[in-house]
Structures are given as C-alpha cells and as structure tokens.
Amino acid sequence: MKKLLVIIAITTGLAVTAQTAEEDVLQVKARLDSIESFSATIKLHADISFIQMPDKVAAAIFTKGKPIVVTSEDFTLIPKRGLDLSFRELFEHPFIVVDRGEVSNKTDLRAVSILPTSDKADFSVATLHLDTKNTRIDWAEINTKKDGTYALQLVYPDSKAILPTNLTISFEIEKIRIPLNFAGKDVKVDLKKMREEDQKKGRIILDLEYSSIGIE
C-alpha cells in the first residue's frame, strides 16, 4: 500500500507541473508584453555572398505599441521585421498553438507552431523554439505573407535576460528590396553573382548593447 501511495504521489506531482504548449507560449508572451521600451547601440555584420560591406553601427529605440526606430549616419542593411524583439506581430491577432514536442537533444527547448486565425495577421505560420526554463524565445522562423521567410537565432547574456545581446537574422534577399543606388561607396555589390544565384539568401549578425530597458 505504501508503494502504491508513493507512485500515485509522484504521478500526481508530474501532472501538476507539466504545462501545455499553449501555456508555455502565453507565459513567454506575458514576459515579452512586459517590455515597455529599450534603447540600444547595434553593431552590424552582413554575411551575404554578393555584397561586401564593412561592419556598421546603428541605434535602435523601441517603445511599446510603436514600430522600432533604427537610425544610423551611414547605410545599414537591417530587415526591420527581424528587430521586433517583442514579437508583437505574432500575438496581436487571435492564434492557435500546435505543439511540436521537444527540440532534439535539448530538453529545455519546446518547439511550437503559431497559426493565426485572423486574415489581418501579416504572417501565415511561425515556428518557435521556446526556452521553457527561462521563459523566452531561443529561435524563430516566421513565414510572412509579403516579405518571405526569415529566421532568428537569439543569444542572451544570462538566464534572467528577456532581450538578446546577439541576434542572427537569416532572410531572403530579394524580399527586402535593397536600395543599392544608395548603399554608399564602401558597399560593393557583385551584380553578376547576384543574378546567377537561384536562391538569394543572407544573414545579418547583430550585437546589441542596451543603454536602457524599461520593464513594467
């Protein structure tokens, strides 16, 4: 009888602590919603096969409920969608959550898909790897309706941080409409190589240094 009681107690405890994928998503959303503002200096490195560009510096200012503002004294190549660190576009319209299970060999990461149920959403599906231990997003791939697909790999300075200090944005080049005529003298574009590539993809690697972060 004692053994039976122990087994029942352990099983009940597991049932209480286990969370659904939707609950995990809502916890991450609540934490992201707590970000009221931030200001950051961004160091940018472009990894694009047919574009040679020296590393750049920009400034970013985010205020909750408004688009992020990025400024620089020089030409910078930043897909602004990838800088929405609040992931507002994923959650501003009704959605459903599909559980994809644990990410291989990473027990603290849970894969989920976010499917919008409203035509007002700007994306068709988003796949997230949630860090369930630290309640934040580790990786995301977002399929937009107009700007192609882009992926984000987020690296945080410590276990408590909600904003990353390193961000790698992978995206489809032709979807971001680069204004090459205004790229500047220090930017070189190999037009021949650009035309020859069937799939024009690139990466932007950002290092962010925050001067202020507002959390409600």
Contact criterion met (CB below 8 Å) for 37 and 63: yes
Cα–Cα distances in angstroms (integers) from residue 210 to residues 24, 28, 29, 38, 164, in the given order: 27, 21, 21, 7, 10
CA 210 to CA 62: how far, in whole Å? 11
The sign of the torsion formed by the CA atoms of 168, 169, 171, 175 equals: negative
CATH level 2 (architecture), domain 19-210: Clam (2.50)
**CA 158 vs CA 65, 133, 215: distances in Å:** 26, 12, 17
Backbone φ, ψ for residue 148 (5° rounding): 70, -160
Torsion region of 78: left, alpha or beta (phi above 0 gives left; psi -120 to 50 gives alpha): beta
- Report d(CA 6, CA 162) in Å as an integer: 38
The domain segmentation of the chain, as residue ranges, is 19-210
Task: Residue 123: count other Cβ atoms within 10 Å of its Cβ.
Answer: 20
**In tens digits, what is the pLDDT along the chain, a chain of 216 residues?**
545 444 444 444 444 456 899 999 999 999 999 999 999 999 999 888 888 888 989 899 999 989 888 888 876 666 666 788 999 999 999 999 999 998 877 778 999 999 999 999 999 999 999 999 999 999 999 998 887 889 999 999 999 999 999 999 998 766 555 555 445 667 787 778 777 776 667 888 999 999 999 998
H or E stretch at 115: strand 106-116
150 exposure class (CB count in 10 Å sphere: 0-12, 13-18, 19+)? buried
